[in-house]
Structure 1
Amino acid sequence: MDIVDLTESPALSPQYKGKRRQQTEGSSPQPKKRRTKKDQTEGAGGSKAIKPPKTKPEKRTDAAGRTVRFASAASQKVQERIARAMPGSGHRLFLIDRKLVAPVGSDGGPIEEFNVLGATANVYKVTISRHPSCSCPDHAKGNVCKHLLFVMLRVIRLAETDSLVWQRALLTSEAEQVLGGERSTRMDEAVMAAESVREQYQRMTGKTEAGAAADAAGAKARRAIEGDCPICFEDLQAEGNGAQEPLVFCKECGNNVHKQCFERWTNSKKAAGVPITCVLCRAPWEVPADPGDGDKSSYVNLASHSEAHRGASASLEDLYGDRAVWIQANQGLMGRRAAANLWAASQGRM
């Protein structure tokens, strides 16, 4: 019987058998290289495609660089301040002037400043930008104050339901919408202070030549520096002649008073929310301070020049009702426990 060797197939050609012999001797086949997108791009055009750099979305941050969340709805505190900013609330707010600092399209966004006559006839500076702010004490405590809301709602004329009204920080595009007039609605003609009030503000802040002339005329009315201070009853000594501290005088009656004593008198008036007056003649005291100088402890007061504020009560109780006790507590005029007791009594809980 003939023996057939089945290890080799006669159908295989010598060339194919040679390839199989190479594989069996340890030479593994090379995998086919896959073309990448980079190879396809370079092969098609002959040059490498350059992708545009990715732009990071702008973050909503405050002036200190901290991230601020978007508030889709107004909080209870903001709603209360919106009510105070609107007409008929008893909080007499008026616009004195406005100044464009940086137009729309500027690096960092647009900026505009507004000088607002407050309920007590103090003048506050409101700044609308990516970081809305006000020079008033309420905003210094971290609140969205009524002066800022007054500008947003009645000067710029945003709708009360517009969520940009109460944001603590704006994106550049949002600030451009607000100051560019894209979201403005009706015109409120009653926002401007009387022309005489605006002119007096210009004089008191030294922005006109008339202001310097008025100060020079007032200096002639100053009385001789003699006698005692009407507040501390210590002897008044002429400045430059061994005086312990500088003096100020009333431009209405001309009487002198220690500057430090009058500052304490001024702080007590501000804490009570009433206009600053002369200790002796009770005439309204003009405070020649620029609200934009960064010193938030003193403001220009125009109570004696504003018909809208003349004779109107500016006490905390009349302006804020039963919430006045909490304002007085925050100002250090009473303890928080006493304020809580008064609050509970006003709510009928005692």
Structure 2
Amino acid sequence: SGGAPHCTCLDHRIRKTTCKHILFVLMRALGLRKEELLNGVEWAVVESAAGEDGLFAVDAEYDVDDDAGNVVERPKKRRKVTAVAREVKQRPVDGEESCPICCCDFGENSQAPLVFCRFSCGKSLHLACFKKMAAFQRRARAPLLCVYCRHPWD
């Protein structure tokens, strides 16, 4: 419904700060860069909201050049894909784990069918969530990657 992003977590409701959930959606789901988020927000506040788990370290494209203090673009790493992909087994699903797409615990809806990353990490997600994500990626003409490890899905 427009306006500023809103979250129902305690951090956002009580402290009125930008929580890690909002940052996750803005950066990982929508693909915004740090520089695009800094519209009037101090970076230290944004970084502290992300926590120490390195939310921004996962896919950072920019570094600060220590010598001159300039922001420089980090070259993107190329992924090597082998000709023959070896399948991995599905990792056991812990009842407290949640789907990375809908954020619902797997234990809450244990009847929902799951799919898993067959060629890299073996982690699971809901089949319905995967289908929605795959349709979105197809429309965007983007490669279909595992949401956990970013390995090509097929």
TM range (shorter): 0.3 to 0.5
| Structure-1-length-normalised TM-score | 0.18
Q: Max radius of gyration: which structure?
A: 1
